[in-house]
Amino acid sequence: MTDVAVLQCRNVSKRYGKSTVLTGIDLDLQAGEVFGLLGPNGAGKTTLIKVLLGLVRPSSGDVSIFGRSLPGARKAVMRQVGAVVESPAFFEFMTAFENLRHLVALSGGISRQRLLDALDGVGLAAAAHRKVRTFSHGMKQRLGIAQALLPDTRFLILDEPTNGLDPHGIAGVRELVRDLAKTRGMTVLVSSHVLTEVEQVCDRVMILSHGRNVLLADVETLKRRAGLVWLELRQADVALPAVSALKVVEQRADAERGTVALLVDPVGRDIPALVRDLVQAGAAIHRVEPRVTTLEDVFIANTQADESDVRTDTFRNR
């Protein structure tokens, strides 16, 4: 971790006419962090990415990258910021190496070896001189990331990087993102709808809903936060006052075993103390099992099912 945040947003809002797309976004990202940006379609994710890339000015608030404010320092800062937004496009008749050489020509000063190193870094060294038209979708995604790593990227933004990939391609991107953060100390922001992938690769996540940050937390804390626990006890024990007083979310009876499993919300109580109190009240506890909470559970709990695409949250301006 460095003293200066890689990214810092303070009270960032964006309006298009009377439509407010982002409201009061605060965010700090540090070196080596993999961060997930989540939200339903139309929640404001793409607009926030535009703001971070300096493509759109916020209506209010401040954005700084590596301690330098946007948009004033955009030209200098963007040499260290790479992005793959939507599906990357390449010249199909060129090789992977030729595409990179052509696409970074305006940056200047990038050696042949640097280009080959970038391809090697995303697992395309053996395909450097193959025509891109022979590439699979996953290989094109990797080539897009190789391009985004040049010339001096320290902060990488990936928008739906696993769209259209098969399981092998998804696993490959996941491993690549982890490697970039771990071995290069790169900060990676991943915007994705594939919650299982975000859960596996990201350190922290932000969930946007209607342009607002409704949740910002580290992934492991989220998985523990719900705190629900399964308690299996004798059916007769359900009548005990101590059991009746529990906040039961779900109940499953097992007639063959003569038991009932209760999914209990401890409402802030310590689980061992709760179990001890039940035993002292005469309950026979057969099983205590914390319920595993997924990122999907958290996402659904914090967003609305009726959110959908809106015109202002598409990457291409119309």
User: Structure pTM?
Assistant: 0.77
Q: Please state which CATH number belongs to domain 227-292.
A: 3.30.70
Q: Report pLDDT for 296.
A: 83
Q: What are the C-alpha distances in Å from 168 to residues 139, 162, 227?
A: 11, 10, 33
* Equal CATH topology for 7-223+299-313 and 227-292: no
Amino acid sitting at position 36: G
Report domain 7-223+299-313's class: alpha beta
Highest mean pLDDT among 61-65, 69-73, 233-237: 61-65
Highest mean pLDDT among 15-24, 242-251, 291-300: 15-24
Q: Report pLDDT for 310.
A: 47
Whether the predicted pLDDT of 303 surpasses 70: yes
More confident residue, 163 or 96: 96
User: In this predicted model, what pLDDT tens digit does every residue of 200-213 receive, in sequence order?
Assistant: 999 999 999 999 99
Contacts of 298 (CB under 8 A, 6+ apart): 207, 215, 222, 225, 226
- Domain positions in the chain are 7-223+299-313, 227-292
Say what the alpha-carbon torsion angle 127, 132, 136, 141 is, to the nearest 10 degrees. 90
Distance of CA 196 to the CA centre of its chain: 10
Task: Determine contact, residues 218/204, Cβ cutoff 8 Å.
Answer: yes
More confident residue, 77 or 268: 77
- Residue 74, classed as helix, strand or coil, is helix
